[in-house]
Chain A
């Protein structure tokens, strides 16, 4: 079964800390990867994406993610979090051999203590 895995269901950090949210996938071949954020009671909003080229991609609000083919990972990072970053973060993948369907991970809930 081809999957997107987010191993941490919950992460808690203090404001100003750095954070890394992990995403691993099990697809082979070329792949399109993205991260979305969902604030409480809202729809998902796009953060960043990777398809090819520089494995480190920059997103909105200081987020970045790094693609690693050897580790089958696309981890999301932020150097200094703000309380407003508290939300659920979803990793998503669309392998090139699966048409246009985007498969989401189960999400990581980030809580930033002020």
Chain B
């Protein structure tokens, strides 16, 4: 079974530029999560989708971050404009979710963003 795929793996941008990350969850997984993991810290949930609907985006800085999950499969996370404090690893995870009650999350390798 293929795991969660993310791209790019690494990205370096200057502050005030925009950037987008892509995630392809495990096939059949209805729930998709985006996390931000700052160096030396645990992952912080940014947004959770159930199919293509948003379940929780309470910690998403909506003035600069946006995310979408078209057709309930792939998802993109965008930052515009980026700030220095956005330097982090952005992790995508997926789980079977509400249909089965199985919320075990499977994580992708992450995208390491450096904002200079």
Chain A bound to chain B: no
